[in-house]
Amino acid sequence: MEHSPFTVGNEGRQVFWNAEFFEPFLFLFTAVALAIFAYGVYRRWQLWVAIGKPEQRMDHLRERVQSLFVNGLLQWKTFQEPYPGIMHGLIFFGFFVLIFGAAFDATEFHIAEPLGWAFLRGTVYIVFSFLMDLFGVAVLLGVLLAIYRRYIQKPDRLGYQGKPDNTPDDAIALLLILGIIVTGFIIEALRIRVTCPPWEVWSFGGWYLAKAFACVDIGTTKVLHKLTWWTHTFLGLGFIAYIPYSRLIHIITTPANHFMASLQPVGAIEPIRDFETAESFGVGKLEEFTSKQIFDADACTRCGRCQDGCPAYLSGKPLSPKKLTQDLKNYWLEQAPAAVAAKKAAESGSAAAEGAVAPPEEKTLVGGTIDLHELWACTNCLYCQENCSASIEHVPKIIQMRQYKVLTEADFAPELQLTFRNIENNSNPWGIGSHLRADWAKELGIPTLAEDPNVEYLFYVGCSGSFDDRGKKVSTAFAKILKAAGVSFGILGTEEGCCGDSAMRGGNEYLYQTLAQANIEVMKGYNVKKIIATCPHGYNALKKDYPHFGGEFEVLHHTEIIADLIAKGKITLKKPVEGLFTYHDSCFLGRYNDIYDQPRNILKAVPGLKLTEMERNFEKSFCCGAGGARMWMEEDIGDRINNMRTDQAIATGADRIAVGCPFCLTMLADGIKDRKKEEAMAALDIAEIVWKSMDLEEEKPPVEVCTV
Ligand code: SF4
Ligand code: SF4
């Protein structure tokens, strides 16, 4: 072996060793790769801005940078799942350090060293060299994990309906990274084989690999080194150039999407604001989405996390949020070039340019690219959005396309037409006379706000709590708890209207806005400040969507109030409620409003009650199937979602399902019936369990106290 040019204490390595002659060519090829990269980004940029309405996503820079840092740089969302999180983390952080290291090295060589400031020497070099090898190994491991997962393990999420959706692009991206790392280690090994400085033991990857070349003579080693050096260089530069033309574009689009993520409250839906002037409502054409909504699709990494917990997909319906996003992306990629050409023609005023790119064959967005069964299968459970590692917003798009079908085309399911008609006529989905809305409370002596406008809380009962037999029992139990705790509250009685959640999520934004505005007017008329709701759908609408129309209230869910009353000792749970309970997280309570602990804390406070968890819980809970207006629609494709959730509850061995939502209560009670488990199992609202444990009924029923 040749002598090293460095002495111990001045450890380092010669940059461009054995490749001094190549330096100018490297600059040239780097410039070419960067030019191809820049051109690709420019072309993509043209496509991003070609279609779509403008949307402000550059405000609140502090929050946006924070989102970019947490999710883009620290990969917070990606790390929520161990295998894919670690796999992606190894590749991402490894590559990040290697690129940073290469830039550091280049800066030292081209700028610092000529100025006499060389710093990659001695201990600094040893640490640097060790870290570069360590992170190189990390990337290698990450890529091998990715290859194993995609091509051997083949989880369903990396496909659609049991078939993998791998593309050549996936393989090219992985092989490029693998090639860069492997050739990097080989170059290092060949250099060490020739120069053999003892401190290179810290470059452990190359050091041990060098032993494999021990029997190769120096001349051949140098030739091999040159060849590998060029291979490594072309793979690295090829990787850079390939980014904008491949799935690697997500290196740019995904962090950008985190930066532009919605800063609205989780799950809030932007209302239609131009009913008076608009000719079409919702989104029926691609250009009716905003540019950001279209950009969303380009940020999708096809990781499939969204699909993994989508109740529609898992129950065999033709909806997968991943597929929907990819279908939108492909549709945009088909449509956008013609839009770019048209834009250029308009700018240049050249009629000839207009035909430069022929518009693609006419294909509709809603009903064509997005199948109608797909569109209507969504329960708005928000699993996709909350679990998406790219901050993609699926649900607003689905609602907007539904708006188009309902408001522009008046083409939607007959059962939903009946529901809307019932709401229009009687302000409840069942169509029961609105004059009966407060009948459940007749015997309870609850004041209406007309009778006592000075109460502290408005109990917004909602349609289920007012008209559904099971819901009425929950309203009664909750009202009795409030009375026993001495809480000052009242109801709106027949002045209350449907919250409009089902109308809005079913695409009838006009009906929803009418209902919301009417409720807000009544509430404001009584100077309402604080509202309690037992239904998470009403709770969510009042809390997050009513502020769009000036309805600013402090809105609480009944589990929040009950948990607080227990914590403050205002109610005492004394009677044991025996049984093994499992708590079902309502989507509109959990994922939408982050209420996970209060219901569980209440149940834990009930004497005798044992609590067990279903496999899918908290943020990853499984929907009951009723959200997004699905409560009122037939479910004739695939399995029934409520039955699937009931099966998950049955699997825990529990004999009771506790819920905090009247829709979930109905769906799970139906599931129990369908599974013929009525003898062994029941679904109960938290308020019913608490009232039972308070054990006050026989002693002094609130109804008697108030009606004497
Ligand atoms: S909101 Fe729920 S049902 Fe709808 S696409 Fe997302 S995960 Fe599926
Ligand atoms: S939408 Fe989000 S979660 Fe779903 S595949 Fe794309 S990046 Fe993954």
Question: How far is the C-alpha of 418 from the C-alpha of 141, rounded, in Å?
Answer: 57
| pLDDT, position 701 | 46
Q: How many domains does the chain have?
A: 3
Ligand 2 binding pocket mutation candidate from 293, 295, 392, 395 (most atoms within 8 A of CB): 392
CA of 16 to the centre of ligand 2 (A): 42
pLDDT at residue number 14 = 83
Mutate to test the pocket of ligand 2, among 78, 386, 388 (most ligand atoms within 8 A of CB): 388
The answer to whether residue 125 is domain-embedded is yes
Under a CB-based contact definition with an 8 Å cutoff, are residues 601 and 561 in contact?
A: no
**Is 528 found in the same domain as 436?**
yes
Confidence category of residue 344, pLDDT binned at 50, 70, 90: confident
Dihedral over alpha carbons 84, 86, 92, 97 (to 10 degrees): -170
- CATH number, residue 192: 1.20.950.20
Is the confidence at residue 3, as pLDDT, over 50?
no
CATH number of the domain to which 369 belongs: 1.10.1060
Which is more confidently placed, 497 or 107? 497
Centre of ligand 2 to C-alpha 307, Å, is 8
Per residue in 521-537, pLDDT tens? 999 999 999 999 999 99
Among 376, 408, 440, which residue terminates a domain?
408
Domain boundary among 224, 243, 259: 259
Residue 22 binned pLDDT confidence (cut-offs 50, 70, 90): confident
CB of 445 closer than 8 Å to CB of 451: no
Instruction: Give the ligand 2 atom nearest the CA of 388.
Output: 3
Give the mean pLDDT of 392-411: 98
3-state helix/strand/coil string of 679-691: CCCEEEEHHHHHH
The pLDDT of residue 501 is above 60: yes
Is 403 in the same domain as 431?
Answer: no
Domain presence at residue 151:
yes
- Nearest residue by C-alpha to atom 7 in ligand 2: 300
3-state SS record for 203-258: CHHHHHHHHHHCCCCHHHHHHHHHHHHHHHHHHHHHHHHHHHHCHHHHHHHHHHHH
Decide if pLDDT at 1 tops 50: no
| Nearest Cα to Cα of residue 546 among 531, 561, 562 | 531
Query: Nearest C-alpha to atom 7 of ligand 1 is from which residue?
Result: 310
For ligand 1, is residue 624 a contact (CB within 6 Å)?
no
Q: Is residue 545 located within the same domain as residue 661?
A: yes
For range 306-330, the mean pLDDT: 97
3-state SS string for 36-64: HHHHHHHHHHHHHHHCCECCCCCCCHHHH
7 within domain boundaries: no
- H or E stretch covering 489: strand 489-490
Handedness of CA 354, 357, 358, 362 (dihedral sign): negative
In tens, the pLDDT along 213-263 reads: 999 999 999 999 999 999 999 999 999 999 999 999 999 999 999 999 999
CA of 588 to the centre of ligand 2 (A): 21
394 three-state secondary structure: coil
Predicted local distance difference test score (pLDDT) of residue 351: 54
Same domain, 297 and 222: no
Q: Which-ligand-closest: CA of 88?
A: 2
State whether 404 and 418 are in the same domain. Answer: no
- Assess whether the C-beta atom of 381 lies below 6 angstroms from ligand 1: yes
Based on the fold, state whether residues 106 and 74 are members of the same structural domain.
yes
Q: What residues contact residue 290 under an 8 Å CB cut-off, 6+ apart?
A: 52, 53, 54, 55
Task: Check whether 356 has a pLDDT greater than 70.
Answer: no
In the predicted model, what is the mean pLDDT of residues 295-321?
A: 97
Q: What is the pLDDT of residue 13?
A: 82
> What does the pLDDT read at residue 698?
59
Q: Could you tell me what percent of the chain has a pLDDT over 90?
A: 87
For residues 342 and 472, membership in a common domain is answered with: no
Tell the residue nearest (CA) to atom 8 of ligand 2: 303
Mean pLDDT of 348-358: 59
Number of Cα atoms under 13 Å in the Cβ half of residue 297: 23
Confidence of residue 276 (pLDDT cuts 50, 70, 90): confident
Atom of ligand 2 nearest to the CA of 157: 5
Q: Which domain holds residue 328?
A: 286-356+365-408
Task: Determine the pLDDT at residue 15.
Answer: 84
Residue 688 has pLDDT above 60, yes or no: yes
**How close is the Cα of 516 to the center of ligand 1, in Å?**
24
Asked if 247 and 302 sit in the same domain, the reply is: no
Q: Is the pLDDT of residue 603 over 70?
A: yes
Question: Mean pLDDT, to the nearest integer, of 673-677?
Answer: 97
For the CA of 326, the closest atom of ligand 2 is 6
> What tens digit of pLDDT does each residue of 185-223 get?
999 999 999 998 888 999 999 999 999 999 999 999 999
- pLDDT greater than 70 at residue 699: no
- Give the three-class secondary structure for 370: strand
Predicted TM-score of the model (pTM): 0.93
Same structural domain for residues 402 and 456?
Answer: no
How many A from CA of 356 to the centre of ligand 2?
A: 34
> 4 in a domain, yes or no?
no
Report the SS3 class of residue 446: coil
How far does the centroid of ligand 2 lie from the alpha carbon of residue 321, in Å?
7
Look at 700 and 147; give whichever has higher pLDDT. Answer: 147
Distance 177 CA to ligand 2 centre (A): 22
pLDDT above 80 (res 358): no
Pocket test for ligand 1, best of 327, 383, 623, 642 (most atoms within 8 A of CB): 383
Instruction: Identify whether 87 is part of a domain.
Output: yes
Q: Are residues 674 and 700 in the same domain?
A: yes
Confidence of residue 707 (pLDDT cuts 50, 70, 90): very low
User: What local confidence, expressed as pLDDT, does residue 218 receive?
Assistant: 95
Q: Examine the domain organization and report whether 290 and 250 are in the same domain.
A: no
Domain assignment present for residue 5? The answer is no
Measured between alpha carbons, how far is 310 from 379 in angstroms, rounded to an integer? 9
Residue 164 belongs to a domain: yes
Model confidence band, residue 644 (pLDDT cutoffs 50, 70, 90): very high
Instruction: Specify the pLDDT at position 107.
Output: 87
Neighbouring CB atoms inside 10 A of 627's CB total: 30
Residue 104 lies in a domain: yes
Average pLDDT, the chain: 94
| Residues 553-584 pLDDT 10s | 999 999 999 999 999 999 999 999 999 999 99
pLDDT band at 361 (very low <50, low <70, confident <90, very high): low
Same domain assignment for residues 307 and 328: yes
Residue 357 — pLDDT band, cuts 50, 70, 90? low
Q: Is 385 exposed, middle or buried (0-12, 13-18, 19+ CB in 10 A)?
A: buried
Q: Is the pLDDT of residue 705 over 70?
A: no
Using an 8 Å Cβ cutoff, are 458 and 523 in contact?
A: yes
What's the whole-number mean pLDDT along residues 319-330? 98
What's the confidence (pLDDT) of residue 531?
98
